[in-house]
């Protein structure tokens, strides 16, 4: 169960809190992805403020939605979600939708901790540098968990406690039902707190324990814009550390951004101000140069991309060279040893093995064979105002500068296209295609023009 019904008023935003993003994905998506790693039999998301937006954001995901309206605290939200969980015999994991740094491995440790101890409840705790507004974990004289006290209700001594609640709970099914039934509104706020379940179960001779997170950063919760910025930096640092441990060279770790689904291989080199997002993979020995952004793209071993490149939904082959100032749009495939140069844009096209488009070119909806050369200023005219059409360029073709290829059109293997041509018909293999207006030279024209100007001025 993921609690995502909070108003999030401290974010000062019209957007639901759980839909704010870090690392290119929403807080809620990050939490849900961590939970899905456990292969749960059922997932319930409790929604409230902006629930239609939240539900749309999870369209296609295997989740059920419970609604909490009006908001009355985490305990009330858990009750709403519990109604949809069904009567399963397995443990119930309850997560907050605003803890985006959680890892599946940590959740698995918590589930196993509850199982091994035969506990009614195991919850996750952590020790941040500054406890702030997190609920404090109060222990008795023997070190056993006694209760969780919300920061707003904590006394001076309790506020000094460093161990705090991460809002991650693993309940046995029957104890959860008992605890939810016994929850009562807080006398001060009127809200129903799920944290009270700890004291309720302990008072009923139940078994409760806290498992401390190995890395306190995982349990970081987001309530304000400052928290969001901190979470972004915490995640960035986690990814940087993971990359360094894998054998990746980061020339300036402070400026590199690595998304949570990015895969890196040993001996990759990342230069300053590189951003890798989405499902991006970079192969062994590849180099990404400064001010380059890759989204949902694959870069094979030994390739070089950048500087100042934008790559989205593209595949870059081994030893290929892309950049500087290149843009690859979705559906682009740059095969091995190919070269995409300065101010070149490619969309939904294949640039074959060893082919090159060095500068000032647009290739859209095109297939370029191996070993071909695309000159400066070449454009595939792929859109007729209603439909997109494809251009096919064979192997070892030379296309001269400032050429327009009006699709649908095919240039055969080994053909040449003269510079400045507009090609509207297919070019046979081995042919030379030209479509220039004949050149005219007028001898003495400059002097005659100059003489007319002088005469007028006189």
Say which CATH number the domain at 314 has: 2.160.10.10
Same domain for 173 and 261 = no
Same domain for 250 and 209 = no
Same domain for 275 and 192 = no
Same domain for 91 and 26 = yes
| pLDDT tens for the chain, residues 1 to 458 | 999 998 788 899 989 999 999 988 999 999 999 999 999 999 999 999 889 999 999 998 999 999 998 889 999 999 999 989 877 778 999 999 999 999 999 999 999 999 999 999 999 999 998 888 888 999 998 999 999 998 888 889 999 999 999 999 999 999 999 999 999 998 888 899 999 999 999 999 999 999 999 999 998 889 899 999 999 999 999 999 999 999 999 999 999 999 989 999 999 999 999 999 999 999 999 999 999 999 999 999 999 999 999 999 999 999 999 999 999 999 999 999 999 999 999 999 999 999 999 999 999 999 999 999 999 999 999 999 999 999 999 999 999 999 999 999 999 999 999 999 999 999 999 999 999 888 899 999 999 988 888 888 87
Domain finish residue from 219, 254, 281: 219
* 425 part of a folded domain: yes
Same domain for 264 and 201 = no
User: Which pLDDT score is estimated for 455?
Assistant: 81
Same domain for 399 and 347 = yes
| Residues 206, 229: Cα–Cα separation, whole Å | 39
List, in order, residues 6 or more apart from 427 with CB less than 8 Å away: 409, 410, 411, 412, 415, 417, 433
| Residues 185, 208: Cα–Cα separation, whole Å | 22
* 107 part of a folded domain: yes
* 451 part of a folded domain: no
User: Which pLDDT score is estimated for 457?
Assistant: 80
Same domain for 257 and 213 = no
Same domain for 422 and 377 = yes
100, 30 contact by CB (below 8 A):
yes
* 458 part of a folded domain: no
- Give the residue numbers spanning the domain of 257: 239-433
Q: What is the CATH number of the domain that holds 59?
A: 3.90.550.10
* 442 part of a folded domain: no
Same domain for 317 and 377 = yes
Same domain for 271 and 393 = yes
* 272 part of a folded domain: yes
* 226 part of a folded domain: no
Domain finish residue from 219, 253, 277: 219
| Residues 231, 101: Cα–Cα separation, whole Å | 7
Which residues have a catalytic role annotated? 359
Same domain for 243 and 203 = no
Same domain for 165 and 277 = no
Could you tell me how far CA 399 lies from the centroid of its own chain? 38
* 380 part of a folded domain: yes
Taking the model in full, what pTM does it have? 0.84
| Residues 393, 49: Cα–Cα separation, whole Å | 54
26, 91 contact by CB (below 8 A):
no
| Residues 359, 117: Cα–Cα separation, whole Å | 65
Query: What are the φ/ψ torsions at residue 355 (nearest 5 degrees)?
Result: -75, 165
Domain finish residue from 185, 219, 253: 219
Q: How many domains does the chain contain in total?
A: 2
List, in order, residues 6 or more apart from 259 with CB less than 8 Å away: 23, 24, 25, 239, 276, 277, 278, 280
């Amino acid at each position: 169960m993921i609690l995502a019904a909070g108003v999030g008023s401290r974010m000062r935003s019209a957007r639901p809190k759980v839909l704010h993003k870090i690392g290119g994905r929403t807080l809620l998506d990050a939490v849900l992805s961590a939970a899905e790693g456990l292969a749960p039999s059922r997932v319930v998301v409790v929604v409230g403020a902006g629930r239609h937006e939240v539900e749309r954001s999870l369209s296609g995901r295997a989740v059920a939605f419970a609604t909490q309206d009006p908001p009355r605290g985490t305990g009330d939200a858990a009750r709403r979600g519990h109604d949809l969980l069904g009567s399963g015999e397995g443990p119930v994991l309850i997560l907050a939708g605003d803890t985006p740094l959680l890892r599946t491995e940590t959740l698995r440790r918590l589930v196993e901790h509850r199982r091994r101890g035969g506990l009614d409840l195991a919850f996750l705790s952590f020790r941040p540098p500054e406890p702030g507004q997190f609920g404090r974990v109060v222990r008795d004289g023997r070190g056993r968990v006694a209760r969780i006290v919300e920061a707003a209700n904590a006394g001076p001594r309790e506020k000094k406690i460093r161990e705090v609640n991460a809002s991650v709970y693993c309940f046995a099914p029957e104890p959860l039902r008992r605890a939810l039934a016994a929850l009562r509104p807080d006398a001060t706020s009127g809200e129903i707190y799920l944290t009270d379940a700890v004291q309720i179960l302990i008072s009923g001779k139940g078994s409760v324990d806290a498992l401390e997170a190995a890395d306190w950063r995982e349990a970081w919760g987001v309530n304000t814009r400052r928290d969001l910025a901190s979470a972004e930096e915490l995640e960035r640092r986690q990814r940087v550390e993971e990359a360094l441990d894998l054998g990746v060279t980061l020339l300036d770790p402070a400026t590199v951004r690595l998304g949570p689904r990015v895969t890196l291989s040993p001996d990759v080199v990342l230069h300053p101000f590189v951003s890798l997002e989405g499902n991006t993979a970079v192969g062994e020995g590849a180099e990404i140069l400064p001010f380059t952004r890759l989204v949902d793209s694959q870069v094979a071993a030994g390739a070089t991309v950048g500087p100042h490149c934008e790559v989205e939904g593209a595949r870059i082959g081994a030893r290929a060279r892309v950049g500087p100032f290149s843009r690859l749009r979705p559906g682009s495939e740059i095969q091995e040893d190919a070269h995409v140069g300065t101010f070149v844009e490619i969309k939904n096209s294949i640039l074959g093995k060893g082919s090159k488009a060095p500068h000032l070119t647009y290739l859209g909806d095109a297939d370029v064979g191996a070993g071909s050369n695309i000159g400066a200023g070449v454009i595939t005219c792929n859109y007729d105002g209603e439909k997109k059409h494809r251009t096919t360029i064979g192997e070892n073709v030379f296309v001269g500068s400032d050429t327009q290829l009006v699709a649908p059109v095919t240039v055969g293997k080994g053909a040449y296209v003269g510079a400045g041509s507009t090609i509207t018909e297919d070019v046979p293999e081995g042919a030379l295609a030209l479509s220039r207006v004949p050149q005219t030279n007028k001898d003495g024209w400059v002097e005659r023009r100059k003489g007319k100007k002088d005469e007028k001025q006189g």
